[in-house]
Amino acid sequence: MANKCLRWLDKKNPESPALVFDLSIVKKNFFNLKNMYKNIEVFYAIKANPNKKIIRLLNRLGSSFDCASIEEVKACISARVPTEKISYGSTLKKELDIEKAYNLGVNLFAFDSQEELLKISKKAPGANVFCRLMVPNGGSEWPLSKKFGCSYKTAEKLILQARELGLNPIGVSFHVGSQQLSLETWKKAIVYASNVFKDLSKKEIILSFLNLGGGMPTTYKNKIKNCKIYSSNILKSINDNFGNLKPVRIIIEPGRSLVADAGVIETEVILVSSRGQHCKKRWVYIDVGRYNGLAETEGEAIHYEIKAKASRKVKKENFILAGPSCDSHDIIYQKKDCILPSNLKSGDKLRILSAGAYTTVYSSNFNGIKSISEYFIE
């Protein structure tokens, strides 16, 4: 799918590091998701890549948007996204930011604690709110901590309190972890959510909204199951567990699965080095690392496919791959395989595939090192 990006890089030869992004792939991914998750609304998690060209494209296609900050809310509004298509999905919001979003017209807010609920009731009176659940995330390649969400029993209490505060609690959300490969984890999360619906229905509170969050996987180094297997199992699990309490409105928040495979990073080899007898593998240092674009390689979590512009007949070996900064932890792959041509040398170019998500948005100027430049094609 990245062939157009590779041809563009061959022709233009931009200064490294550079990311070229094919908007036509995002369009294709969006309609594929819509076809797989029929009658479910797509809210693009713009944290994956907040470039205005992506927001504008998805807005034209009819997407809604999940925002994690007031600046992301403003980015959507500047791209002429209708405010009814914006969800302020972070459960960590300053009072001032809640007020700003509410005054701009946003009317959908997430919470997972009493204090957050009180802030929303104070600065966004009468708003629609949903409670984020803490659910298992085993099977995720980028697992979540316990930073967000609450138990379903706590959620029930908070939803009752939300009504008392004059808010409109419409349902629940969860996140099973980014790049989630386990079907069983999705099923467990849906069971948790259905428990809230069932318990509150006994108290004559009928919820209508279920936010499945993100986590839909994309292909990196290792192939994944056909995406239709995930969607069919998720939809079946909803039908099996909710019964006649099935939510009227169901949304998903894809980020990675919409934009990752639309981007390719080209990076330059700075040095190829042998460290002597104590280190059998040779090292390759490139001009993009954990601090200027490849943050998700922390703990070697996301395993990107990396290709060199070399003949297939060239002998290859397994290298240690490291970034350009002076930080000794700026190592990309040391335990996982990184198979590259043995004749690799300074000045050679490598291509990192499926790099359209969580790369440029993480890129910093640590050590004064150049951030990744972005180029867009259609």
Reported as a single tens digit per residue, the pLDDT across 118-151 is: 999 999 999 999 999 998 887 677 677 778 889 9
1: pLDDT strictly greater than 90:
no
User: Span 110-123, mean pLDDT?
Assistant: 98
Q: What is the pLDDT of residue 166?
A: 97
Poorest-pLDDT segment among 194-208, 252-266, 298-312: 298-312
173: pLDDT strictly greater than 80:
yes
215: pLDDT strictly greater than 90:
no
Q: What is the pLDDT of residue 311?
A: 60
User: Span 220-247, mean pLDDT?
Assistant: 86
What domains appear along the chain, each with residue ranges and CATH number? 23-257 (3.20.20.10), 260-377 (2.40.37.10)
Q: What is the pLDDT of residue 43?
A: 97
User: Span 164-179, mean pLDDT?
Assistant: 92
200: pLDDT strictly greater than 80:
yes
The residue with greater pLDDT, 311 or 163, is 163
Identify the band that residue 227 occupies on the pLDDT scale cut at 50, 70 and 90.
confident
334: pLDDT strictly greater than 70:
yes
Q: What is the pLDDT of residue 217?
A: 74
Q: What is the pLDDT of residue 107?
A: 98
User: Span 220-234, mean pLDDT?
Assistant: 80
Identify the band that residue 6 occupies on the pLDDT scale cut at 50, 70 and 90.
very high
Poorest-pLDDT segment among 38-47, 195-204, 235-244, 277-286: 277-286
78: pLDDT strictly greater than 70:
yes
pTM, 2 dp: 0.93
Q: What is the pLDDT of residue 201?
A: 95
177: pLDDT strictly greater than 70:
yes
Q: What is the pLDDT of residue 310?
A: 65
The share of the chain scoring above pLDDT 70, in percent, equals 98
User: Span 9-27, mean pLDDT?
Assistant: 96
User: Span 96-122, mean pLDDT?
Assistant: 98
Tokens found for residue 205: 């509170």
Place of tokens 């509410």: 102
Identify the band that residue 184 occupies on the pLDDT scale cut at 50, 70 and 90.
confident
User: Span 191-206, mean pLDDT?
Assistant: 94
The residue with greater pLDDT, 217 or 204, is 204
Identify the band that residue 312 occupies on the pLDDT scale cut at 50, 70 and 90.
low
